Amino acid sequence: MADGSQPQCCVAGGGPAGLMLGYLLARAGVRVTVLEKHADFLRDFRGDTVHPSTLQIMVELGLIDRFLKLPHQKVERLGGMVGETPVAIADFRHLPVRERYIAMMPQWDFLNFIASEAKAFPNFTLLMNAEATDLIERGDKVVGVRATTPEGVREIMADLVVAADGRNSVLRERSGLAIEDLGAPMDALWFRLPVEPGDTGETMGRFGAGYILAMLFRGDYWQCAYVIAKGSLEQLKSGGLESFRDAVAAASSFDRKRLDAIASWDDVKLLTVRVDRLLHWYQDGFLCIGDAAHAMSPIGGVGVNLAVQDAVAAANSLAKPLKAGSVGLADLRQVQKRRMFPTRVTQAIQVAAQNNIIGPTLSRRVQPKPPLVLRMMQWFPILQRFPARVLGLGVRREHVAEYIRAGRG
């Protein structure tokens, strides 16, 4: 059992999964340290979609009113263009939660908010510029983590180490846990475009002959993703930046001059899409959650919200045994058992979309027409509630345990 000078839990990674888990454990009275390798959270092109399931967690924690004071845009309905045909896809306004929309919020604001709320607890520590690089083991049990800091290498001992350090998790690699790769046929190029007078501000996707473009309205700019076939970036670059601007202009409703805002390839960031998951998320003294346990496709923008749901499930299962110094394999197994089903179902939906929509669209040479299911959604708008529920609330919703809400371990 950890003594009073060291954390009972050390979380590697200050993203949505890691910070939310740190906050919840600290609220329950667990001594917790979160390691974040960067000096701040200011990084572009991370998941910025806060779904109704996550907003409801904020409601349960009594944080929602302060949270919604942060800059955000509300998306009550999702739509797009298939070829030349506008389609409505999801209507969140009928969900059985208080906040019935997706909040488009820069992830750095989301993370700064959770960090500031967590710092109110004296048993919470956030170490910036601290990159977890290795596990410390005694026999078959993980007992701590090594981290590089500006002061040098630091060893942090804990009853439990949680890897929440993303899809390229160093600690996951060090653990040797086996990964199942489900594959992805595409990558995405992220870039910003300026807002101009007359813009409707409608977040949407456009599917055309050989292209897919997502346009997310961020208030004072557009955050855009141009989807390309996996591994085709160098071929695209060989055609020149001007050709890329032309392709984006053709795929969007933006005038060609606006695309001059992409001044160089430095303004275009590659997101390498991966869909994978660990077969086992844990070993004695060690657990993976979020992208470290299951990398998600950007389809549906569900990654942040699955990560938050993982954190809630982990806190619900682990806070009491951590406080008692008795966390064991059965407790860790319970987290995976709870979260593996929604992970599998969500990834199955994403893989089906990749294989039946994304891949064929990228190889198409003529403008597509809406498939029957989308046409039916236009004829019968009530059908738009089903994708809204899957996207907005997820396959299995998590609720914060009452003892954590009350701040009791």
Asked if residue 407 belongs to a domain, the reply is no
* Residue ranges making up the domain that contains 267: 186-229+231-271
Listed residues 244, 271, 298: the one ending a domain: 271
Q: For position 206, what pLDDT does the model report?
A: 87
Asked if residue 3 belongs to a domain, the reply is no
Q: For position 127, what pLDDT does the model report?
A: 96
The pTM (predicted TM-score) of the whole model is: 0.93
Output 228 or 365, whichever has higher pLDDT: 228
Question: Do 47 and 167 sit in the same domain of this protein?
Answer: yes
- Please check whether residue 38 is in contact with residue 60, taking contact to mean a CB–CB distance below 8 angstroms: no
- Please check whether residue 306 is in contact with residue 294, taking contact to mean a CB–CB distance below 8 angstroms: yes
Sheet containing strand 152-157, strands side by side: 131-138, 141-149, 152-157
What is the count of structural domains for the chain? Answer: 2
Output 364 or 88, whichever has higher pLDDT: 88
Question: Do 59 and 139 sit in the same domain of this protein?
Answer: yes
pLDDT at 2 over 50: no
Average pLDDT over residues 61-88: 91
In sequence order, what are the residues at sequence separation of 6 or more whose Cβ sits closer than 8 angstroms to the Cβ of residue 334?
A: 317
Of 2, 3, 29, the C-alpha closest to 318 is 29
Cα 34 to chain centroid, rounded: 18
Question: Do 306 and 382 sit in the same domain of this protein?
Answer: yes
Task: Work out the pLDDT band at 219, boundaries 50, 70, 90.
Answer: confident
CA–CA distance, 272 with 57 (Å, rounded to integer):
29
- Please check whether residue 41 is in contact with residue 295, taking contact to mean a CB–CB distance below 8 angstroms: no
Q: What is the pLDDT of residues 109-162, one digit of tens each?
A: 999 999 999 999 999 999 999 999 999 999 999 999 999 999 999 999 999 999
**Residue 314: enclosing H or E segment and its boundaries?**
helix 303-324
* CATH number of the domain enclosing 27: 3.50.50.60
Q: What is the pLDDT of residues 314-364, one digit of tens each?
A: 999 999 999 999 999 999 999 999 999 999 999 999 999 888 888 888 887
Question: Do 284 and 318 sit in the same domain of this protein?
Answer: yes
Asked if residue 329 belongs to a domain, the reply is yes
Token code pair at residue 328:
């064991």
